[in-house]
Structure 1
Amino acid sequence: MISIPDKKKKLNLGFLGVGWIGRNRMQALLNHSPSKATVICEPDSQNAEEAIQNAPDACCVENAEEMYNDSSLDGIVIATPSALHAEQSIAALNAGKAVFCQKPLGRTADEVKKVVAASKAADKLLTVDLSYRYTEAFQEVYKRLINNDIGEVYAIDLCFHNAYGPDKEWFYDLPRSGGGCVMDLGIHLIDLALWSLGFPEIKEVRSDLYAQGKKLQLFEDKIEDYASISFLTETNININLKCSWHLPAGKDAEIHASFYGTKGGLAFKNVEGSFYDFTAEKYNGTQTEVLVTPPDSWGGRAGVVWAEDILNGKGYDATTAEELIKTATLIDRIYAR
């Protein structure tokens, strides 16, 4: 018998970590999906107080175990430091909760595989906040790539320079972060490139990582703040990625994913150094056609899709799981792990 989702039902969600990103994602879910914040767990009292202002009916708990053990919860949104993501996701999934986790899901492919296994065993939906997929600008680029608008893609250029870098000290500690600007920024663009190509096998990886202007040696226990990486797919598509923290780029941020094919080009680009405003462009020789322009409130859209999928009865997603493992395995190769 086919079950029909209850359109009147509201998801009961727990929010584990409500710093700036956690609160932003919570607000998007409350505003744009049939969800309510039932439980909040946050060690920083100021963050917790700000979150409660937007969810006055939520209960605050002191430790994550109380959240995992709450039988009323349908899912848990995780926005904590990277070192905690895999462990907390596994605990939530083992407790029968769907999980929406900030990237990276794990610091290594091994951690990601363990989370995926927990999702499969529990048959609960696992989603990672790879949010640029859900921008209107990249959705347009993706649609045109799938429709073969620019012919056969042979090269992709990816770039993410953040002039400021993270403001939390744990980002600069390798055991806690799992990596530097590649793990923090590059992962988004790697995901866009692989997703657009259908997650092909990568036969060659070359990575040059730098810390404060000095090239890092293999297995050096330091965090990179600049990376230049190239991949070659099994069908010889060339992918180049540059990303950084604190680069003197003359603007707040430089973000783009440019695709070059036998019949033209497509690009997803930030506007005037913005972290939030994006455009989509199509290139034909020297001509540029603007496809999408701001504004676009995309920040919490991935979480809203996750919530709607839960309400529609979606559980373990084997395709997404395989994508998460492939991305994490490639990042391991970048770091020579």
Structure 2
Amino acid sequence: MVSNVNAAIVGFGNAGRIFHTPLIRAASGLNLHTIVSSRPADVLAAVPGVRVVPDLETALSDPEIDLVVIATPNAMHAPQALAALRAGKHVVVDKPFCLNLDEAESLMVEAKSSGRLLSVFHNRRWDADFLTVQRLITDDKLGEITRLVSRFDRFRPKLRDRWREQDVPGAGLWFDLGPHLVDQMLCLFGKPVSLMADMARQRDGSVVDDYFNVTLKYERLRVTVSASVLTPAAGPRFEVHGTKGTFVKYGLDPQEDALKAGGDPTDPSFGIDGHEGSYWPVIIDDHVGMNESVMSERGRHLSFYEAIAAALMDDAPNPVLPEEAYEVMRILELGQLSAHEGTEVHL
């Protein structure tokens, strides 16, 4: 355990700049000590006064750094996290955990042997809409859940010059948004019995998947997670159907846009979702089900880093266990296999 946690972020692309930097700076018990980037001017323009070093090795050799946050392209997650663990640092890896199960297992083994914390940034466990769905299910408002649809649709018809849209390992929409949606479903329902996946390249010139629709099959429950970048009029973010009622929620969690706009994660209004959900109770006998508005829980991605600080300072639980992230990777791998072969894959 440490009394104060000095953190280094490796990479200052969208993940490092939009998510990790403001959340680490806002989290009690964490200090943003260093950012590893080859573009120091860009970093200092956004985070004046922060220490910037040009490579990972420099950060790993610094005894003042306790925690290393890997926010680089997906193919670099495993080798950089492994180097950090071997250097005696605690590690947070942005999602996805890595590229495959072999890499995930090697990181888990190293973390255990080195006695260091290893966690994965599945921040959308703290989305407002997901927390609301989780509350309704826990409180048995909907009864036994029979069908859930989770969509993450956007409209980005033009290709962009970024690694996620290039033909490189770990690129594509399934490895970008899939980890979020899959992790949320595993949190709610555990591991499915089987899955069936469909993935496609729909935009002109696309070399990676920019659409997916994956069905997770449980004994009776059916869950569909899907995402598209060619949906001008997005459907509901969540549809949750149960034996007592249905919950429908439109609109995406507001935290990403708020962080992009420079919002303060500690502001009491941060993470409040203005899009109310709707709940329709089932009609039973003479009881008439009425449409009720459901206020969203407050979203709070900051909770992840507050929990990381507590784990390192007070021996509190790791907010996202590597074993949990391993199961997400398993679904990602099997989803690719199912889509490639056009068959249902049993776990």
Shorter-normalised TM range: 0.7 to 0.9
1:274-293 matched pairs, under 5 angstroms: 276=257, 277=273, 279-285=276-282, 287-293=290-296
Residue in structure 1 matching 2:211, options 212, 226, 232: 226
Number of the residue aligned with 1:10: 4
Counterpart in the other structure of 1:194: 186
Distance 1:41 1:96, change over 3 A: same
Q: 2-side partners of 1:308 and 1:191: how far apart?
A: 22
Q: Secondary structure at the match of 1:236?
A: coil
**Structure 1 residue 335 displacement after superposition:** 0.5
Where do residues 255-274 of structure 1 align in structure 2 (5 Å cutoff)? 256-267=237-248, 269-270=250-251
The separation in 1 between residues aligned to 2:81 and 2:278, in whole angstroms, is 37
1:243 and 2:227 aligned: yes
Work out whether 1:40 is the aligned partner of 2:32.
no
CA shift for structure 1 position 228: 1.8
Q: Say if 2:308 and 2:318, in contact at 8 Å, map to a contact too.
A: no
Match of 2:270 in 1: none
- Note the C-alpha offset of 1:225: 0.9
Is residue 105–residue 128 contact of structure 1 (8 Å, CA) maintained in 2? Answer: yes
Q: Share of identical aligned residues, percent?
A: 22
Taking the TM superposition and a 5 Å limit, the aligned residue runs for 1:1-337 are: 9-24=3-18, 25-53=20-48, 56=49, 58-164=50-156, 167-176=160-169, 178-197=170-189, 199-200=190-191, 202-212=192-202, 222-233=207-218, 235-245=219-229, 247-250=230-233, 256-267=237-248, 269-270=250-251, 276=257, 277=273, 279-285=276-282, 287-293=290-296, 296=298, 298-314=300-316, 320-336=321-337
In structure 1, C-alpha distance between the alignment counterparts of 2:83 and 2:35, rounded to whole Å:
16
Distance 2:292 2:213 in 1: 29
Distance in 2 (CA, whole Å) between partners of 1:274 and 1:88 is: 28
Unaligned regions of 5+ residues in structure 2, if any?
A: 258-272, 283-288, 341-347
Change (3 A) 1:239 1:83: same
Name the aligned partner's letter for residue 334 of structure 2.
Answer: R
Are the aligned partners of 1:29 and 1:303 in contact in 2 as well (CA < 8 Å)? yes
Cα distance in 1 between the residues matched to 2:236 and 2:178: 10
TM normalised by structure 2 equals 0.79
What is the DSSP-based 3-state SS (H/G/I as helix, E as strand, rest coil) of the residue aligned with 2:237?
A: strand
| Secondary structure of the corresponding residue to residue 323 of structure 1 | helix
Give the TM-score of the pair, scaled to structure 1.
0.81
Q: Per residue, is there more strand in 1 or in 2? A: 1
Whether the 8 Å CA contact 1:141–1:280 is kept in 2: the answer is: no
Deviation at 1:283, TM superposition (A): 3.4
Q: Distance in 2 between matches of 1:20 and 1:213?
A: 22
> What is the total number of aligned residue pairs between the two structures?
313
After alignment, is 118-127 or 95-104 more displaced?
118-127
Quick one: distance in 2 between partners of 1:254 and 1:306? 34
- 3-state SS of the aligned residue for 2:142? coil
Shift of 1:314: 4.5
User: For 1:59 and 1:273, how far apart are their aligned partners in 2?
Assistant: 30
- The one-letter amino acid paired with 2:77 is H
